[in-house]
């Protein structure tokens, strides 16, 4: 997880210094994410926006169908262990 996801992301943040980060995380993914706010500011001042945070799986499916978008419902992130589906990316940024 550190080598293939966390470190490259942290490096990209350092090198590009974005002011805003849009993420597709959803509250139903993990208990940690269920406690997150749709808009937050990290200690470095980066604004994190999660517009899909409170979308259900049905909401997401219907949006993709309505707009002819592909989905990744069968995707499994290999950097997340079976017991803990949180890689830590959103905890450290």
For 20-57, the pLDDT digits (tens) are: 999 989 998 888 889 999 999 988 899 999 999 999 98
Full DSSP string of the chain: -IIIIIHHHHHHHHHH--SEEE----TTT-HHHHT--SEEE-TT--EEE-TTTT--HHHHHHHHHHTT----TT---TTS-SS----SHHHH-
Reported pTM: 0.70
- At 71 the pLDDT is 84
pLDDT for the residue numbered 38: 96
pLDDT at 93: 54
| Overall average pLDDT of the 55-81 stretch | 85
Return mean pLDDT, the chain.
84
Topology classification of domain 2-92:
Rossmann fold (3.40.50)
Q: What angle do CA 7, 13, 15 make, to 5 degrees?
A: 100
């Amino acid at each position: 997880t550190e080598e293939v996801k966390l470190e490259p992301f942290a490096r990209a943040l350092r090198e590009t210094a974005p002011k805003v980060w849009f993420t597709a995380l959803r509250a139903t993914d993990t208990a940690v994410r269920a406690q997150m706010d749709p808009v937050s500011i990290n200690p470095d001042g980066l604004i994190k926006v999660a517009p899909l945070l409170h979308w259900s799986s049905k909401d997401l499916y219907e949006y993709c169908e309505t707009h002819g978008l592909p989905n990744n419902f069968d995707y499994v992130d290999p950097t997340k262990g079976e017991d803990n589906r949180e890689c830590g990316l959103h905890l450290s940024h």
